Protein backbone atom coordinates (compact mmCIF):
# COMPACT_ATOMS: atom_id res chain seq x y z
CA UNK A 1 0.00 0.00 0.00
CA UNK A 2 1.26 3.38 -0.97
CA UNK A 3 1.02 6.51 1.09
CA UNK A 4 0.92 8.69 -1.94
CA UNK A 5 -2.16 8.76 -4.11
CA UNK A 6 -1.94 9.63 -7.72
CA UNK A 7 -3.63 12.91 -8.46
CA UNK A 8 -3.73 15.08 -11.53
CA UNK A 9 -2.61 18.66 -11.41
CA UNK A 10 -4.07 21.02 -14.01
CA UNK A 11 -2.37 24.32 -14.76
CA UNK A 12 -1.89 26.84 -17.52
CA UNK A 13 1.40 27.34 -19.20
CA UNK A 14 3.13 30.70 -19.14
CA UNK A 15 2.44 31.18 -22.86
CA UNK A 16 -1.29 30.63 -22.37
CA UNK A 17 -1.45 33.10 -19.48
CA UNK A 18 0.44 35.77 -21.46
CA UNK A 19 -1.80 35.25 -24.50
CA UNK A 20 -4.97 35.72 -22.43
CA UNK A 21 -3.51 38.85 -20.78
CA UNK A 22 -2.62 40.31 -24.18
CA UNK A 23 -6.16 39.74 -25.47
CA UNK A 24 -7.69 41.28 -22.34
CA UNK A 25 -5.35 44.28 -22.58
CA UNK A 26 -6.38 44.81 -26.22
CA UNK A 27 -10.10 44.78 -25.38
CA UNK A 28 -9.57 47.03 -22.36
CA UNK A 29 -7.70 49.53 -24.52
CA UNK A 30 -10.47 49.58 -27.13
CA UNK A 31 -13.16 50.01 -24.50
CA UNK A 32 -11.18 52.69 -22.63
CA UNK A 33 -10.55 54.65 -25.84
CA UNK A 34 -14.21 54.71 -26.89
CA UNK A 35 -15.51 55.48 -23.40
CA UNK A 36 -12.91 58.22 -22.94
CA UNK A 37 -13.90 59.77 -26.27
CA UNK A 38 -17.56 59.71 -25.30
CA UNK A 39 -16.67 61.26 -21.94
CA UNK A 40 -14.99 64.20 -23.68
CA UNK A 41 -17.87 64.48 -26.16
CA UNK A 42 -20.28 64.79 -23.25
CA UNK A 43 -18.04 67.43 -21.70
CA UNK A 44 -18.01 69.40 -24.97
CA UNK A 45 -21.80 69.17 -25.13
CA UNK A 46 -22.12 70.35 -21.54
CA UNK A 47 -19.73 73.27 -22.15
CA UNK A 48 -21.85 74.45 -25.08
CA UNK A 49 -25.06 74.06 -23.08
CA UNK A 50 -23.50 76.13 -20.28
CA UNK A 51 -22.54 78.92 -22.70
CA UNK A 52 -26.03 78.87 -24.25
CA UNK A 53 -27.63 79.05 -20.81
CA UNK A 54 -25.39 81.93 -19.74
CA UNK A 55 -26.29 84.01 -22.80
CA UNK A 56 -30.00 83.21 -22.40
CA UNK A 57 -29.82 84.29 -18.75
CA UNK A 58 -28.12 87.51 -19.84
CA UNK A 59 -30.92 88.23 -22.31
CA UNK A 60 -33.54 87.49 -19.67
CA UNK A 61 -31.79 89.58 -17.01
CA UNK A 62 -31.35 92.58 -19.34
CA UNK A 63 -35.03 92.48 -20.31
CA UNK A 64 -36.13 92.10 -16.70
CA UNK A 65 -33.85 94.90 -15.53
CA UNK A 66 -35.21 97.25 -18.21
CA UNK A 67 -38.77 96.65 -17.03
CA UNK A 68 -37.93 97.02 -13.32
CA UNK A 69 -35.77 100.12 -13.70
CA UNK A 70 -38.00 101.70 -16.39
CA UNK A 71 -35.01 102.62 -18.53
CA UNK A 72 -33.27 101.39 -21.67
CA UNK A 73 -30.81 98.58 -20.95
CA UNK A 74 -28.31 97.23 -23.48
CA UNK A 75 -26.99 93.71 -23.75
CA UNK A 76 -23.62 94.37 -25.39
CA UNK A 77 -21.35 91.98 -27.22
CA UNK A 78 -17.67 92.31 -26.38
CA UNK A 79 -15.21 92.59 -23.54
CA UNK A 80 -16.76 94.33 -20.55
CA UNK A 81 -13.39 95.75 -19.42
CA UNK A 82 -13.11 97.85 -22.57
CA UNK A 83 -16.83 98.72 -22.50
CA UNK A 84 -16.87 99.36 -26.24
CA UNK A 85 -19.99 97.38 -27.08
CA UNK A 86 -18.26 96.41 -30.32
CA UNK A 87 -20.37 93.38 -31.21
CA UNK A 88 -17.65 90.80 -30.65
CA UNK A 89 -20.11 88.34 -29.15
CA UNK A 90 -17.53 85.53 -29.06
CA UNK A 91 -15.62 87.39 -26.33
CA UNK A 92 -18.66 87.61 -24.07
CA UNK A 93 -21.47 89.94 -23.14
CA UNK A 94 -22.26 92.56 -20.55
CA UNK A 95 -25.35 94.44 -19.45
CA UNK A 96 -25.09 98.19 -19.48
CA UNK A 97 -27.43 100.88 -18.25
CA UNK A 98 -26.98 104.60 -18.70
CA UNK A 99 -24.90 104.80 -15.54
CA UNK A 100 -22.93 101.55 -15.23
CA UNK A 101 -22.20 97.99 -16.26
CA UNK A 102 -24.52 95.75 -14.26
CA UNK A 103 -23.12 92.27 -14.94
CA UNK A 104 -20.96 90.46 -17.46
CA UNK A 105 -19.90 87.05 -18.72
CA UNK A 106 -16.83 86.03 -20.71
CA UNK A 107 -17.10 83.01 -22.99
CA UNK A 108 -14.40 80.34 -23.02
CA UNK A 109 -11.78 80.44 -25.75
CA UNK A 110 -12.74 78.54 -28.86
CA UNK A 111 -16.44 79.36 -28.65
CA UNK A 112 -17.85 81.25 -31.63
CA UNK A 113 -20.98 83.34 -31.11
CA UNK A 114 -22.68 84.96 -34.09
CA UNK A 115 -25.79 87.14 -34.32
CA UNK A 116 -27.94 86.72 -37.39
CA UNK A 117 -31.09 88.75 -37.67
CA UNK A 118 -32.54 92.20 -37.91
CA UNK A 119 -30.65 94.39 -37.94
CA UNK A 120 -27.62 92.49 -39.24
CA UNK A 121 -24.28 92.76 -37.41
CA UNK A 122 -25.96 94.01 -34.27
CA UNK A 123 -23.47 95.13 -31.64
CA UNK A 124 -26.01 95.30 -28.85
CA UNK A 125 -29.56 94.33 -28.07
CA UNK A 126 -31.52 97.19 -26.51
CA UNK A 127 -34.39 96.47 -24.17
CA UNK A 128 -36.89 99.22 -23.42
CA UNK A 129 -39.10 99.97 -20.42
CA UNK A 130 -41.84 97.69 -21.76
CA UNK A 131 -39.42 94.77 -22.12
CA UNK A 132 -39.54 94.89 -25.92
CA UNK A 133 -36.35 94.78 -27.93
CA UNK A 134 -37.45 97.41 -30.44
CA UNK A 135 -37.77 95.29 -33.58
CA UNK A 136 -34.45 93.58 -32.89
CA UNK A 137 -35.12 89.94 -33.59
CA UNK A 138 -32.95 87.11 -34.79
CA UNK A 139 -30.84 84.18 -33.70
CA UNK A 140 -27.64 83.79 -31.76
CA UNK A 141 -25.56 80.85 -33.00
CA UNK A 142 -23.08 79.36 -30.53
CA UNK A 143 -20.57 76.95 -32.07
CA UNK A 144 -17.85 74.85 -30.54
CA UNK A 145 -16.39 71.35 -31.00
CA UNK A 146 -18.47 70.76 -34.15
CA UNK A 147 -21.70 71.42 -32.24
CA UNK A 148 -24.14 74.31 -32.66
CA UNK A 149 -26.68 75.76 -30.24
CA UNK A 150 -29.19 78.52 -30.96
CA UNK A 151 -31.01 81.20 -29.03
CA UNK A 152 -33.90 82.80 -30.88
CA UNK A 153 -34.86 86.33 -29.84
CA UNK A 154 -38.27 87.61 -30.93
CA UNK A 155 -39.41 91.25 -31.26
CA UNK A 156 -41.04 91.23 -27.86
CA UNK A 157 -37.64 90.56 -26.27
CA UNK A 158 -38.29 86.96 -25.31
CA UNK A 159 -35.68 84.31 -26.02
CA UNK A 160 -36.06 80.63 -26.80
CA UNK A 161 -33.37 77.96 -26.62
CA UNK A 162 -32.77 75.62 -29.52
CA UNK A 163 -31.43 72.10 -29.18
CA UNK A 164 -27.72 71.42 -29.48
CA UNK A 165 -27.00 69.72 -32.79
CA UNK A 166 -24.06 68.67 -34.90
CA UNK A 167 -22.98 71.42 -37.30
CA UNK A 168 -22.68 68.87 -40.10
CA UNK A 169 -26.32 67.84 -39.66
CA UNK A 170 -27.76 71.36 -39.62
CA UNK A 171 -25.69 72.77 -42.46
CA UNK A 172 -25.37 76.03 -40.52
CA UNK A 173 -22.00 77.42 -39.60
CA UNK A 174 -20.59 80.07 -37.36
CA UNK A 175 -18.36 82.21 -39.50
Answer yes or no: is 4 within a domain: no
Total structural domains within the chain: 1
Average pLDDT over residues 94-107: 87
The CATH number of residue 69's host domain is 3.55.40.10
Q: How far is CA 1 from the centre of its chain?
A: 82
Whether the model pTM is above 0.75? no
| Residue 54 located in a structural domain | yes
Compute the distance between CA of residue 129 and CA of residue 97 in angstroms, rounded to an integer: 12
| Residue 5 included in any domain | no
> Is 175 among the domain residues?
no
Q: What is the DSSP letter of 32?
A: H
Mean pLDDT computed over 35-48:
72
Q: How high is the pLDDT of residue 26?
A: 83
The boundaries of the domain holding residue 123 are: 15-170
Amino acid sequence: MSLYTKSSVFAFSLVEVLLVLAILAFFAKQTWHSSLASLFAQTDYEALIQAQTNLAQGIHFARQFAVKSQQKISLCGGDYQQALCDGQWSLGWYIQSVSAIKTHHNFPLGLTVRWSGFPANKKQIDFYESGHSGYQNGTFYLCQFGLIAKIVLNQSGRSYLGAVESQTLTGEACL
